[in-house]
Amino acid sequence: MSSYSRAGHSSTGHRSSSGTSSHTKSTDAHTSTGRRDTVMNRAAAGRSHTSGRYKKKRRNRLDITQILLIVIGVLAVILIAAIASRGCGGGSAAGGATESDIVQESTVADGAVTVNGVNIYGMTQEEARKAILDSFDWKMKAKYEDKETDVTNLMADKVDQLLEEIYASDLKPGETYEVNTENMIEDAKAEAALIAGNWNMAAKSGGISGYNKETGKFEFSEGTKGLVIDQDKLAQAMVDAIDKKEFDAVLTAETKEVAADSSVQDKYKTMSTYTTTTTSNSNRNENIRLAVAALNGTIVKPGQEFSFNNTTGARTEEKGYKPATAYLNGEVVQEPGGGVCQVSSTLYNAVVFAGLKSTERHAHSYEPSYVTPGEDAAVSYGGPDFKFVNNSEYPLAIKASFSASDRKLTIALYGVPILKEGVKIRMSSEKTGEIDPPSAVYTEDGSLQPNQEVQTKAATPGSRWSTDLVTYENDKEVSREFFHNSSYRGKAAQIKRNSSATVATNATEATAAAESTAAETNAANESTAAHETTTAAPSSPGGETKAPTTTAAESNEGPQETTPEPEETNPVVEANGPGSN
């Protein structure tokens, strides 16, 4: 007989020979206590000697139920603990951390997780990255002769890729990983290219190095060999060292020689030639000769900007420049260097014809007589200049000459042509309008009858010109682009008059009257003269299309003069004024 008591309640059970059992239930005053006692009484009845009617098979079923309840309870506790742990982690993220913070602060699941033998358990992704890279002890270098440089750690990207996968997945303790070092040749080639970029030495082609004025020939320099790193071999050496885990290897770069272009001298030709005719004025021609001598043999390197004023220098009497007719602020004066603008204008045409880029160009104050208006280039030391850039890949030379016997001024550019065979570039200028001339200039002449006027020179209106850049291929026009505009002043009429009521009785009286009147007229003209002559757009192709009006004549060397020969009288030019000469 056995008994079980809980909360003032007892039950007794008896097992009988017939296998039946009798069971006495007692109720407690409280319902909850009664329920618990009922379960306990049933369990006790199974062990009672008075439970003869409760079969043994029934007792076994109760034992299994208890075991199941215990197992379910244990699993429930484990599940609740796991959910609570995840909830704490989620609550931290929900508490305001950014996605970046979560990635950096997240750690690998409990248990050892190794990458190339490095246990990253408990580390952030950045800590794991540092630990793995430190384990490689990367000290790889590349070397050539006395040059040496560090090789960028090529394992870093591979480590980053692997860690991104690890920290983005649910891990199980005990997992191991290896950094994938396959297919690293492209990364190695990129690193080899960077190293080669710092060490490669390009071959230098020969070119014009000078000009012998005694022989009239240009001198050429020999080219130098180049040196390039064999990038493919260097990249493969990096990959081989990584495969062997030789992260501290010093790799010797192999090189290949690049021969210089020994035939560059054969490429040099006359790029363009332009010729104009001067006047019979001896002083002006001497100034042209001096400017030509300063210009002849000038070497312009690739990318260099040439300046006419800097090359010829100041045009002074100390250098031998002669006074020649020029305009200064609207007045005819004698200035040293008069006529030099014909040299700059001739050079300008040669530059354009060669396909080179002019960077500064100005029109004259008055229409030139030695080139087509719109195709001139005025210069004045300390003021307007003519400049161009050598936009070819080789040095070029300027060859200038002046023949006093036939008064021919010729400028040729010598270099490696930048225009294709059969391609020519020319300027085409068209007069687009006129500008009213200034007021007439009166000169008193007492020898004339009272109030008599005699015009000695007619007025000349100013003009506006538009210039196009025309490209020909095999003598056929293929393109036409607006180049620039130019404006030129007009010239006042010259009139003699006698504004007095008497006729001068002697030359002294007539001269005094003439000087007084001329001074007054010039002052009036200076205040009203148009100033539209020195502004011109830099010479670069534009867009408008216009009909050509002039075509340059050709010789066996290139274009020649395109305008009629100037008058034998001294040409009207501007030396050091706002325009030029």
Mark whether 45 and 110 lie in a shared domain: no
Domain containing residue 442: 268-528
Mark whether 257 and 302 lie in a shared domain: no
Mark whether 290 and 216 lie in a shared domain: no
Domain total of the chain? 3
Q: What does the pLDDT read at residue 29?
A: 36
Q: Is the CB of residue 421 less than 8 Å from the CB of residue 404? A: no
pTM of the complete model: 0.56
Q: Is the CB of residue 300 less than 8 Å from the CB of residue 398? A: yes
Q: What does the pLDDT read at residue 433?
A: 97
Q: What does the pLDDT read at residue 505?
A: 65
CA pair distance 581, 571, nearest whole angstrom: 9
Mark whether 16 and 128 lie in a shared domain: no
Mark whether 393 and 321 lie in a shared domain: yes
Mark whether 233 and 120 lie in a shared domain: yes
CA pair distance 336, 314, nearest whole angstrom: 10
Q: Is the CB of residue 169 less than 8 Å from the CB of residue 280? A: no
Per-residue pLDDT tens listing for the chain (581 residues): 333 333 333 333 333 333 333 333 333 333 333 333 433 333 333 333 333 333 334 444 456 777 777 878 778 778 776 665 554 444 444 444 444 444 434 444 456 889 989 998 888 889 999 999 999 999 999 999 889 999 999 999 999 999 998 888 876 677 889 998 888 899 999 999 999 999 988 877 777 888 887 777 888 887 788 889 999 999 999 999 999 999 999 999 998 888 777 677 888 999 999 999 999 999 999 999 999 999 999 999 999 999 999 999 999 999 999 999 776 665 667 889 999 999 999 999 999 999 999 999 999 999 999 999 999 999 999 999 999 999 998 999 999 999 999 999 999 999 999 999 999 999 999 999 999 999 999 999 999 999 999 999 999 999 999 999 999 999 999 999 999 999 999 999 999 999 887 876 655 555 555 555 444 444 444 333 333 333 333 444 333 333 333 333 333 333 333 333 333 333 333 333 333 45
**Residue at a domain's end among 224, 246, 262:** 262
Q: What does the pLDDT read at residue 1?
A: 39
**Closest residue by Cα to residue 184 from 158, 151, 152, 160:** 158
Cα angle vertex 309, ends 305, 310, to 5°? 60
The two structure tokens encoding residue 422: 């059969």
Mark whether 390 and 507 lie in a shared domain: yes
**Residue at a domain's end among 236, 262, 288:** 262
Is 545 domain-assigned?
A: no
Mark whether 132 and 10 lie in a shared domain: no
Is 81 domain-assigned?
A: no
What does residue 46 show for φ and ψ, rounded to 5 degrees? -65, -25
